[in-house]
């Protein structure tokens, strides 16, 4: 019976059975494709998120996110641009022509107009699958690649569009599903931009704090702490290369009289102008600093007795040109020079040099001020 039943199945029944079987197979294949597609999308999102964490700059992260977005949507060309400070133009980070010839200069301004402006105004993804027949095609600059279809993905931060990702030339048409996926990548790019800007501000804050910790607030020269740290490095270098180290100490003449007669504001002006004069007189590798009060100090790398004396005289002459409240400013200068031994510690050596330079400074004061006195350190 079973054998006969099998042989009695009509051709029509067999055809319908095969059709159902094929339908089931197609459904399974469709489901598998959906699973694979979802997995691919998830992987692209993960790769984009990883770029946010790993890339050192926003342009690098933006490029990685753009590439993943193109892979998922099927776009083969496009760009990422940020809104200019005046809010009227896009500043292009990069252009991808998709292998097609393009002679457009990415440095050229990209005005906010056409379909692009709709994305900026609505803060939503917009696309056009027949762009070359649209009125907006007239906005394309000479040398631009042909655009069969386009999609603009806004980069939104705090409900403001601060940039845009442009996608173009998908072999088929863009769909709402593409727009939905592209918006995810736009959000990831916006997160990356937010992080990048935060890091830039953080670095700027760190640099400002570092400068505040190492800079004299009034004269903007290095402060005493910074000078001492620099001296440690300079001493090691000097010992390694057996080079001379010289220190110049400058003290403004009659500074108390300036403060008492004209006020502390005039005194501050004198300190600022003298600090500027010292900096102008120094060589590129010299290290000037405010030592405290009306005293300044300069470290000379590789300067022997004769060279340090010339440098000190140059500084003194520059200061003599300073005029505050119709008063000519002068300074007394002491110089000490040392060929560092390998046994002296940095602070001991600095104290020795400063002590010797101070003695020379007081000798300059005692002999009439506005002059330079040099001494060799006893260990030299």
CATH code at 264? 3.30.70.270
Q: Is 218 inside any structural domain? A: no
- pLDDT tens figures, 209-261: 888 889 999 999 999 999 999 999 998 888 888 888 999 999 999 999 999 99
Domain coverage including residue 269: 224-376
The β-bridge partners of 328 are: 323
Q: Look at the chain and report how many structural domains it folds into.
A: 2
Does residue 231 share a domain with residue 122?
A: no
Does residue 328 share a domain with residue 233?
A: yes
Q: Is 281 inside any structural domain? A: yes
Average pLDDT over residues 114-138: 87
Average pLDDT over residues 274-286: 95
* Own/partner pairs, 264-270, CB within 8 angstroms, 24+ separation: 266/324, 266/325, 268/218, 269/324, 269/325, 270/294, 270/322, 270/324, 270/329
Which residues are the active-site residues?
294
Q: How far apart are CA 270 and CA 71, in angstroms?
A: 65
Does residue 307 share a domain with residue 234?
A: yes
Give 380's pLDDT tier (boundaries 50, 70, 90).
Answer: low
Give 341's pLDDT tier (boundaries 50, 70, 90).
Answer: low
Q: How far apart are CA 17 and CA 9, in angstroms?
A: 11
- pLDDT tens figures, 88-109: 888 889 989 888 877 777 777 7
Average pLDDT over residues 321-344: 86
Q: Is 15 inside any structural domain? A: no
Helices (H), 263-345: 264-281, 305-319
Interacting residues of 287 by C-beta distance below 8 A, sequence separation 6+: 222, 227, 230, 234, 298, 299, 301
- What pLDDT is stored for residue 155 in this prediction? 96
Please tell me what DSSP assigns to residue 89.
Answer: E
């Amino acid at each position: 019976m079973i054998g006969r039943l099998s042989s009695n199945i009509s051709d029509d029944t067999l055809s319908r059975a095969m059709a159902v079987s094929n339908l089931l197979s197609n459904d399974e294949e469709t489901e598998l494709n959906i699973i694979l597609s979802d997995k691919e999308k998830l992987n692209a999102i993960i790769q984009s998120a990883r770029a946010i964490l790993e890339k050192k700059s926003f342009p690098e992260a933006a490029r990685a996110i753009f590439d993943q977005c193109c892979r998922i949507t099927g776009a083969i060309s496009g760009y990422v641009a940020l809104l200019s400070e005046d809010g009227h133009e896009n500043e292009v980070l990069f252009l991808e022509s998709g292998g097609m010839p393009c002679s457009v200069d990415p440095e050229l301004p990209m005005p906010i107009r056409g379909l692009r402006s709709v994305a900026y105004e609505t803060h939503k993804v917009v696309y056009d699958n027949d762009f070359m027949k649209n009125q907006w095609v007239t906005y394309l600059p000479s040398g631009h690649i042909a655009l069969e279809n386009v999609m603009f993905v806004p980069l939104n931060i705090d409900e403001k569009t601060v940039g845009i990702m442009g996608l173009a030339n998908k072999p088929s048409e863009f769909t709402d599903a593409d727009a939905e996926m592209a918006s995810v990548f736009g959000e990831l790019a916006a997160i990356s931009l937010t992080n990048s800007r935060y890091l830039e501000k953080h670095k700027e804050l760190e640099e400002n704090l570092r400068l505040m910790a190492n800079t004299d607030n009034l004269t903007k020269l290095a402060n005493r702490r910074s000078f001492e740290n620099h001296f440690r490095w300079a001493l090691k270098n000097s010992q390694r290369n057996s080079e001379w180290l010289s220190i110049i100490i400058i003290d403004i003449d009659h500074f108390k009289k300036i403060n008492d007669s004209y006020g502390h504001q005039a005194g501050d002006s004198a300190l600022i102008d003298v600090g500027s004069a010292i900096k102008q007189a120094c060589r590129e590798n010299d290290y000037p600093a405010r030592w405290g009060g009306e005293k300044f100090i300069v470290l000379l790398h590789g300067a022997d007795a004769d060279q340090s004396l010339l440098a000190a005289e140059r500084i003194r002459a520059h200061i003599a040109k300073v005029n505050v409240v119709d008063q000519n400013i002068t300074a007394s200068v002491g110089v000490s020079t040392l060929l560092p031994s390998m046994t002296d510690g940095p602070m001991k050596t600095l104290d020795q040099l400063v002590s010797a330079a101070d003695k020379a400074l007081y000798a300059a004061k005692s002999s009439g001020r506005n002059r330079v006195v040099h001494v060799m350190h006893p260990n030299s």
